[in-house]
Structure 1
Amino acid sequence: MFILFFSTLISISANSWFGCWIGLEINLLSFIPLISNSKNLFASEASLKYFLIQSIASINFLFIILMKMFFFYLEKNNFIIMIMNSTLLMKMGSAPFHFWFPNIIEGLSWMNCFILMTWQKISPMILLSYYFFDKFLFIILILNVVIGAIGGLNQTSLRKLLAFSSINNLGWMISSIMISENLWLFYFCFYSFLNSIMCFMFFMFNIFFINQLFIINLNYLIKMSLMINFLSLGGLPPFIGFFPKWMVINFLLKNNFFILMFIFIMMSLIMLLYYIRIIYSSFMFNYLKLKWLKIKIKNNSFIFINFINMISLLGLITSTFMYL
């Protein structure tokens, strides 16, 4: 874990592209032992897939760096910038290089899912902000929000659902990093916070699929907190998850990206559709015959969950006053 965190810092603070590549390699080599588990075939398969994908991206990245070193006149070549951007997008699991991402997440534990969806995106994102081709990135971020929204519609696995939600949020994050690094950091912190709550709750109740939410005999307050956090992750206005999206919307409107903004908001509605579908079903379905198990939770966890809900509910109200 220490090497995983340290390698990201090496990558984003390096003063040459070669240093960045070394940081990314160390990051890859430290994450593989975390996800591989000899007792779990899914985890082993996921670690192998992850290694292969990241190796291909790293090879391409190194190839472009060497090209830039040998041929100085390629520095401003749009094709070279596009390939370099593509390798970084592949590393973070962005569309259209996203096909590995839901597959690998399906084989991971909730802790590793959280790391892959948040921390592993930091170094490719920062490196992307150093050197990007804006016309190419506009197409990419539209692809991200569209695929992230539509891909999650027919999913039954919560891990895959969060993976597609992550792809959708990547579109927002790429647009925010094109505006400013501070805005990206702001968005990323909020997204990581909401993601950590979801992963923590699913880990606590050992839930991996949507139907478990209906069958498991959960306390109504827990169901309420799930609802609040799902809607917050989707970006519904009274909740804190809307605040960073609001900031991005403001900046995009100031820069006259009206069509882009329209696509972003429409796709957020599709995401909210499948979140609300899950919440509605888990509230309304009552499998009485299947409820053999009573879930007991410790008091500390319950207090923690209630505290998070208060942040999520009251967060937007306080942040609105700050904003004004």
Structure 2
Amino acid sequence: MNAGLIRRCGAWAAGAIVALSAVSAQASWPNDKIIRLVVPFAAGGSTDLIARKLADGLGKQLGANVIVENRPGAGGTVGTDYVARQPADGYTILMGSVSTHGSAPCIYPKLPYDAARDFTPLAVVATIPNVIVINKDVPARNLQEFVQLLKQDPEKYTYASNGPGTSNHLASALFTSTAGVKMTHVPYRGSGPALIDLLGGQVNMMMDVVMTSYPYIKEGKIRALAVTSSQRSKLLPDVPTVAESGYPGFEAIVWFGMLAPPHLPTDIRDRLSKAIVDVQNGPSLKPYLEEQGAEVSSIANDAFASLIKNETAKWCKVVKQANIRLD
């Protein structure tokens, strides 16, 4: 056997060993190693609460220790960028959202990651509508009456958001553009302080996820005018959608989804996706989500990738029209 052939055979054998090792590692995943579920927001928020419920279920499904790791900062982009740079081995996954993968690419001119290219989409965990709520002293009983007030006195009314460029800021901008009205934006550091000022009358309106506004709506402390999903909320069956209230096609939902670093091996991706779906429909997470006004999603893998592209296009259009930009 000549030397060239021996070298080729040796290279082939070495490559085969590497390939077999990779296959073996994937087959043994998770192999008693800790899986980190990164939440790019502070502990205690809606993303964090859903992630912790999911982590518990995933641990049982996979026979692994799944821990939640909070890495907040810059509207969720710090923790999201961190996950994008981790090894694609299935041991680091992200609880992303419409903020990190829908609006962030539109509002941050120097975003360090590409929302479509730098991740492996696994599954959308849940969707939840915003609800347009107003201070109880605002003299409007429905969305049509509120729009009339805004048109009569465009300088008078204000709306709160969780901060510049957040999902409810952009949803509010989409609403004012769609309805042809103007309001003054008052940004806060999260939904908690924004809701406090809405209750106190310092601001007139807010778009907030159903789960945090629901207790105040139920107690009559704020008034719900419309939900932003295409269907009515099960928690608020008597509250019409924005589309029903005269603006067909309007939709601005919040979604939470699981993603991994790019180039995750297909078999690990499929195992993770299946485990997420099993937990979603299990006896713990699904009832919890429904109690919060959220809906379990069936969007996974390639369909999730398409959702990210569509959401980015939608919110970039809103950002451009409203001239919203963050450094």
The structure in which a higher percent of residues are helix is 1
Please give the range of the TM-score, normalised by the shorter of the 2 chains: under 0.3
* Structure exhibiting the larger radius of gyration computed from Cα positions: 2
Instruction: Report the TM-score when normalising by structure 2.
Output: 0.26
Question: What TM-score do you get using the length of structure 1 for normalisation?
Answer: 0.26
Higher strand share: 2
